[in-house]
Amino acid sequence: MKQTILSAQQGSLLEDLIVKYGQIVTSEQIYARGKDVWDQKVAKNVITRLTHNGWLIRVKRGLYVISDLSSRGFLSLSPSVVAHLLVKNSYVSFESALAYHGMFDQLTNKTISISEVQHKTAQLQSVEYSFVKVLNKWFFGWEEVSIDNKTVRMATAEKALIDMIQFHKSKYTVDLVVEKLLLYKGSLDLQKMTKYLSKMSLTTIKTFGFLFDLLKINSGDLHNPARLKGTHWMLTHDAKFNAKWRLYYDVYFDKYQLVK
């Protein structure tokens, strides 16, 4: 049976930690604050008990979040903050970044970040945290933002859309990107987006050029026949050919030609 009531010493320890370090603490910080009461061996057991009872939530080895007294056992930090804690040299992208920018309002139990080093997927409570390894030349297009009083690297809206096509392309992601381009083309920085696209793969450039044309967005800066030589497929097994972009695509996307 879990001990739901803190002992005086445990409560004092957590209060001291919050005052000195805030909600996020390391094992070493816990040991340092508790050294006048426990030796390190006992402190390890205290950490284990506090974690088991939900007062401490383990983010990764040696790193914990102190639960609010009113929500013991529940991780109240934003998933974007947790993703940053798990891998500092990364930035949040995909749907989570779009949600931050007010462009995605569906609930999701997955947070995807971009990093330059391979990291294992982590499951923390109900959220899955995954990290897409990319080349250094594609690790750009993020900004530092403040969430829950913590600094987090977040993809710009433009780069989040590009990342979805470049790194997790599927019929769903292409359709989602088309939807967001259609809804937000008036507020997106299309000049910045074009600059970003110039650094991506040829397939990604061609895909966005094709999508821009569908949605009556100027694609002139992307269309360079000398550079875009060769034939590419938006998705494997696509069968309809667009001569301008030398790109095979799914006939499904022709429906957007009817959108005014």
Domain termination residue (choose one: 103, 135, 155): 155
Does 25 map to a domain?
A: yes
> What is the domain-level CATH number for residue 57?
1.10.10.10
Alpha carbon separation from 252 to 174, 212, 239, 256 (Å, rounded): 11, 16, 11, 9
CA-to-CA distance for 238 and 213, rounded, in angstroms? 18
pTM: 0.79
Does residue 61 share a domain with residue 137?
no
Per-residue pLDDT of the chain (260 residues; tens, 9 = 90+): 344 567 777 877 887 888 788 888 898 888 888 777 777 788 788 888 888 887 888 888 889 888 765 554 445 678 999 899 889 899 999 999 999 999 998 878 899 999 999 898 988 777 899 999 999 999 999 999 999 888 999 999 999 999 999 999 999 999 999 999 999 999 999 999 999 999 999 999 999 999 999 999 999 999 988 788 899 999 999 999 999 999 999 999 999 886 65
Domain count, the chain: 3
Residue 114: which domain range?
79-155
Nearest Cα neighbor of 92 from 136, 148, 157, 137 is: 157
